[in-house]
Chains A and B, each alone.
Chain A
Amino acid sequence: MNSDPTRGGIPERGAEPPSYLREGTTVRSWLTTTDHKRIGILYALAITFFFALGAVAAALIRAELVTPSGDFLTNDEYNQAFTLHGIVMVWFFLVPSIPATLGNFLLPMMIGAKDVAFPRLNLMSWYVFMAGGLLALFAILAGGVDTGWTFYTPFSTLYSNSHVLLAALGVFVVGFSSIATGVNFIATVHLLRARGMTWMRLPLFVWAMYTTSLVMVLATPVLAMSLLLVVAERAFGLPIFDPRSGGDPLLFQHLFWFYSHPAVYIMVLPAFGVVSEIITCEARRRIFGYQFMVYAMVVIAVIGFMVWGHHMFVSGQSAFASMVFSFLSFVIAVPSAIKVFNWTGTLYRGQIRFSAPMLYALGFIGLFTIGGLTGLFLASVPLDVHLTDTYFVVAHFHYIMVGGSVSAFFGGLHFWWPKITGRLYSERLAQFAAISMFFGFNFTFFPQFIMGTMGMPRRYHDYPPEFQPWHVMSSVGALVLGFGYLWPIFYLGWSLFRGERAPANPHGATGLEWQTRSPPPKDNFDRLLVVDQEPYLYHPKESTPDEVEQAHAKQKP
């Protein structure tokens, strides 16, 4: 959006220009940094650890489910494994994944700022995250938790014999890091945009971070309250959910889903942002319907607060409440569908390059579409009665959160890797990873739709033998998926030390973050930026990528 002479400039070998990575290399310099880019990397290291932990739990679950009866875990150990998987993956990986890593790194750069609005609060949020993480780890080491990630009462407050208090406090604490990040991003977008960077010139990734932050700031306190109530009843015997003392066990579900449904959008809105950046760049096209893309995210963030009751159709809530929540759940499907259509429209008349980030982004569209459509099944009350609490639901939310968000996270990681590390990775090997992740994911989770429809309940350690073929398929698929996740460690690790130096703008992208060196200097830009154009100006306004570009492109022999 801002023509810059550094575009495509390759720094000389040996004489490395100063970058944020060179500003102190001691551990101390990293642990006391207030540079948003370094904090993004601290977060990336932390969530990679938690992703690995959650993945080990998932591997245990899938291995155990190959046969109908228990093989190497007891019932309690199995229950702890899926609880660990859920708690770690949701709060210690997915919620912070894109916002705290890519968001932290890129948001200030994309709006032409030196840093976030409150750099120290930013560092504090990482320490708070680590404190919450340590509490959760301690709960695991002390013997584990067996409530499921949902902490349903009265089981969690009265009947569970595991370390509920530690885990709940861990999640309670980690919530504050979400709130801190959210507040920081909102303030940053409001206060620190470069001259000329108006709201309707913001890249969609920035809009995604902004709407996500709003949801984080408004929803997370409700999670904190509901977990405190669990602690109050479990530790101090305050009757809140216990029906024998006049409490209401359903109250917890209302409070919990009032946070946890918006939390789904905390996980998926950032993915929308990443995918929009990748698709426009790799198709050399302006985004189709920029304004609609913005409005869709805002509408999703708002209506996302009004649909929590669709988790409770069989809980005993009134039929009328169920119908209203069902209606709103159908309404929220519309903006999500609009986004899918607009990404598709962006491809039209483009100059599409099938780089690894693009493969992840295209995979995202497919998996998110399936995830979204199966959401319509669950929004229909009569069908949800049959399908809820079965593997159909498990498959549905994994399509959204893993097929959608994690694919987008990997896509974004590859797309901005040259900017973050200053190195290029092997395109071939990365494409192979993207493709194995896509197929591995479908092999793992599609069979779960089928067995869920047949009635296989979730959170079952033992299951009737007729479901075994589907479980075996799912577990074999998980091997492929696991490969898709592990493989990037090797070529990205190689790239980190031996990779070719990256130019400032290897993809020829338009965002401000590409108008500076790779890796960027400590203050992001060497000069003040003035923005005078819309985002995604990959081609003149009234036409599509022209024949000039075609002539430059590699011709087939």
Chain B
Amino acid sequence: MMPEASTLAPRIDHLFFALVGLSLVIVLLVGCLVAGFAVRYRRGSKAQRGQLPKWITRDVELGWTAATFFVAIFIFWFAASMQTSEFEIPNNAMEIHVVAKQWMWKLEHADGQREINTLHVPVGVPVRLVMTSQDAIHSFFVPAFRIKQDVLPGRYTETWFQATKPGTYHLFCAEYCGTDHSQMTGGIVVMPPAAFARWSEGAAAQGTLAAQGAVLFRQLGCSGCHGKSARVRAPSLAGLYGTRQPMAGGGFRQVDEEYLHDSIEQPQKDIVAGYTPVMPSYQGIASEGDIIRIIAYLKTLKAGGRQ
């Protein structure tokens, strides 16, 4: 087969081989019956035909319908229980931001290190990927980890993995995205923790994502309204991340990366109840990379004390 390099991989392969086994049984059963009947009852053979046996009735039909149904439901249950248990993202995961564009992967660490088409991660640490696209739909596919997630423009999608073996593994774009789709590939470099620590010491000259975000927050004028001494009645953003906010049109929304992203690009979309929609759109002003930094900064703001 192929390398199993994540905690998920052996579980997926377990399901895979269970299904291969079941398929082999069914293929052999059907194949032997067809071949057996074909030989035994070939035209002119001496095999006895005569009266049909009594037990071949409607009951047989109902019997194998029920049996097939139960097998199908059983596999569904097997797969679905795994889906619910394995796709929960651990809370302590290290965060990597992924911006896909034709035909390149841009990957950013929380400490501000940027990589193109290569991602360095430590072994044994859960890694959460928060991904968006600048243009068409792409898909982040690492076969050795058995993960794949489409990356969409205008929203964040997430997936996670925990690598188990050092090495370099393929990263593919799996959703067709135009001319150089097949060159939109890269590598995930899984390193032992000590080596990873040495690697990540190198860069970070520009400061962490959050620190860069704080600079952008002022440069782009966000602080003019959302800052401490602002005159415009704009909501304070401190401690906002992770809360549930009432919406002007009724209902609530979880303030997650997706919501913050939308609020910067399309501020009229979901207004928090009690505020007038006066914020201008930053579409074309703040790049996807900028927005990631601003969100990283907003997440560091604790309620009560502004920086």
Contact = CB atoms under 8 A, between A and B. Distances in A.
B43 interface: yes
Given A76-B179, A352-B41, 14 more contacts: A75-B183, A152-B137, A243-B154, A314-B148, A314-B150, A315-B150, A319-B87, A338-B65, A377-B19, A379-B79, A385-B12, A386-B16, A455-B143, A550-B44
A485 interface: no
Contacts of A322: 83
B182 A461 contact: yes
A461 B182 CA distance: 6
Contacts of A351: 41, 43-44, 49
A349 B41 contact: yes
Given A75-B180, A146-B179, A385 B148 contact: yes
Interface residues on B, range: 35 or more
A366 B31 contact: yes
Interface string B86-101: 1100000000000000
Given A352-B37, A381-B80, A544-B50, A338 B68 contact: yes
8 contacts: A160-B178, A289-B61, A334-B69, A344-B34, A376-B19, A455-B170, A543-B51, A547-B49
Interface in B138-184: 139, 141, 143-144, 146-150, 152-155, 157, 170, 172-183
B52 interface: yes
B197 interface: no
Contact of A243 (B12, B19, B152): B152
A463 interface: yes
A550 B45 CA distance: 8
Given A244-B154, A344-B30, A388 B148 contact: yes
A390 interface: yes
B244 interface: no
Interface stretch (B70-78, B113-121, B246-254, B289-297): B70-78
Contacts of A365: 30, 34
A249 interface: yes
Interface stretch (A2-10, A171-179, A213-221, A325-333): A325-333
A347 B38 contact: yes
A544 B52 contact: yes
Given A79-B178, A347-B38, A348-B37, A554 B44 contact: yes
* Residue from B41, B50, B56 whose CB has the most chain A CB atoms within 10 Å: B41
Contacts of A284: 43
Contacts of B68: 333-334, 337-338, 341
Interface stretch (A184-192, A225-233, A254-262, A367-375): A367-375
B27 interface: yes
B176 A382 contact: no
A352 B49 CA distance: 12
A347 B15 contact: no
A314 B33 CA distance: 38
Contacts, number: 262
A152 B175 contact: yes
B179 A316 contact: no
B176 A155 contact: yes
A1 B183 CA distance: 61
A353 interface: yes
Given A347-B34, A373-B27, A327 B157 contact: no
A333 B70 CA distance: 11
A272 B6 CA distance: 42
Contacts of A154: 135-137, 153
A71 interface: no
Contacts of B64: 337-338, 341
B23 interface: yes
A340 B64 CA distance: 11
B266 interface: yes
Contacts of B16: 377, 383, 386, 453
Contacts of A289: 58, 61
A354 interface: yes
A250 B141 CA distance: 19
A25 interface: no
Contacts of B147: 385-386
